[in-house]
Amino acid sequence: MDKLIVKGGVRLKGRVNISGSKNSALPILAATLLTPETCVIRNVPDLSDIRFMLEILSRLGAKVTFEDGVVTTRAEKVDSETPYDLVRKMRASICVLGPIIARCGRAKISEPGGCVIGDRPIDIHLKGLAALGAESRMEGGDVYVTSKELVGKEIFLGGKFGSTVLGTDNVMMAATRARGLTIIESAACEPEVRDLAEFLRKMGAKIVGQGTRRMEIEGVDHLHGAEHSIIPDRIEAGTFMVGALITQGDVVLTGIEPEHLVNLIDRLKSCGAHINPEASGLRITTPHELSSVDFVTETYPGFPTDMQAQMCALMSVTPGISAITEKIFPHRFMHLSELRRMGASVELEGATAIIHGVEHLSGAPVMASDLRASAALVLAGLVAQGTTEVNRVYHIDRGYEHIDQKLSALGAQIERIR
């Protein structure tokens, strides 16, 4: 099992290109099951989650190739049963459910796995598909879904923690082949949902309102093949922004979409960061000492839950007291105990982390609990005195393309031990 050895004390400096979005690529790859024709998807990051999805597509009957960031698929025939040994590894595997139902009229899928960041049931997915006419039942850890015909309907998809991204994706994909008009109220507005909608439109789907709380999908009889390029990964971009700030560095991010990062940029500027556009990208510098900030994670366009752990690492060495409240996954604070091992002063009160900035962190062996926690521990290691050993980095390989190589190119002293 790989681990990362990080020696702290080096300012990050230089340019880094942001990869394609994992959270956009996964549902778009699943959507290629909706057509028997060839689809070409570009700017696909080379991640373990992506390779899990490609193997799922292959096991479902699609012919798949992946080379130099380009995935080509052709799903002339589609099996209705997904393999448990792959589904258990990745939460986003649930997004094949909508396409399979639309294509086959039935589906069997195991409860998906992934990061341990809190309860993430699929009941809203099944509720949305039920509204379209799909019946479901649970048996032996598997979900069985059947439908004689999908029929458009008005559907409310809100949950107790806000809109569901993958639930919106699943219902939207199924609705493209439903008879009549489907209206999704309380739809997720994330850029990744808009990217999926754009790909489906290229396939011939009739969708309006993507990026708003109300989406309308008019079902069509046939979807054709299409080509599409994945949007940049806003969470990877945010992670490198924090990396520049925590090391008091000077980093230019290229290949990004600043409009997807408005809330994060606002919070970082409130800390005192200088974030300025350049011809080739966005430059992040720290001209003086940062100050603490408070924030609450929310659904888009609010502060992203996927940046909460990285901000905890930054606030742990920022003067003052910060209050970080997690409203999406209230139990997503497993990284705090590992930051404490490095000398962070953190208290957890319910779903709020109270962080007292310290002068320095100390390198220590730490254990990654999930994807974003892994990134937070690497960031903490960049600024800690001494050496930090981050174990279980298979988590970080799920969502960051060659992060150790990218950090090394910026000057970081980081080594992967296999």
Element housing 102 (H / E)? helix 97-104
Per-residue pLDDT, 115: 46
* 229, 250, 268 - which closes a domain: 229
CB atoms within 10 A of CB 360: 14
* 229, 245, 271 - which closes a domain: 229
Tokens of 106: 């039935």
CB 352 within 8 A of CB 324: yes
Note down the domain range covering 314: 3-18+232-417
User: Of 104, 115, 271, 312, which residue is the catalytic one?
Assistant: 115
* 210, 229, 248 - which closes a domain: 229
Per-residue pLDDT, 162: 74
225 shares a domain with 96: yes
392 shares a domain with 307: yes
360 shares a domain with 265: yes
With a cut of 90, say whether residue 341 has pLDDT above it.
Answer: yes
pLDDT tens figures, 262-292: 999 999 999 999 999 998 899 999 988 899 9
| Total domains, the chain | 2
Mean pLDDT of 383-410: 96
CB 232 within 8 A of CB 16: no
152 shares a domain with 103: yes
Q: Please, which pLDDT band fits residue 261 given cuts at 50, 70 and 90? A: very high
CB 197 within 8 A of CB 231: no
Nearest to 379 by CA among 292, 290, 249: 249
116 shares a domain with 76: yes
Alpha helices in 208-329 (DSSP H): 234-246, 262-271, 308-315
Mean pLDDT of 288-310: 95
Q: What percent of the chain has pLDDT over 90?
A: 86
N residues, the chain: 418
Per-residue pLDDT, 83: 78
Nearest to 133 by CA among 118, 157, 153: 153
Tokens of 345: 């002063």
Place of tokens 């589609």: 78
> Running DSSP on this structure, what letter comes out for residue 203?
T
128 shares a domain with 14: no
Report strand pairing: 135-139 vs 321-326: unpaired
Mean pLDDT of 123-133: 94
Looking up residue 197, the CATH number of its domain turns out to be: 3.65.10.10
CB 320 within 8 A of CB 359: no
pLDDT tens figures, 26-70: 999 999 999 999 999 999 999 999 999 999 999 999 999 999 999
pLDDT tens figures, 184-204: 999 999 999 999 999 999 999
360 shares a domain with 260: yes
pLDDT tens figures, 348-375: 999 999 999 999 999 999 999 899 999 9
CB atoms within 10 A of CB 320: 14
Mean pLDDT of 202-209: 98
Per-residue pLDDT, 119: 44
More confident residue, 112 or 392: 392
Nearest to 386 by CA among 8, 11, 10, 12: 8
Rg of the chain over Cα atoms, rounded to whole angstroms, equals 21
Per residue, what are the HEC states of 51-63?
HHHHHHHHHCCCE
Is residue 189 annotated as a catalytic residue, yes or no? no
407 shares a domain with 261: yes
Q: What angle do CA 315, 164, 311 make, to 5 degrees?
A: 5
26 shares a domain with 13: no
With a cut of 70, say whether residue 114 has pLDDT above it.
Answer: no
With a cut of 80, say whether residue 5 has pLDDT above it.
Answer: yes
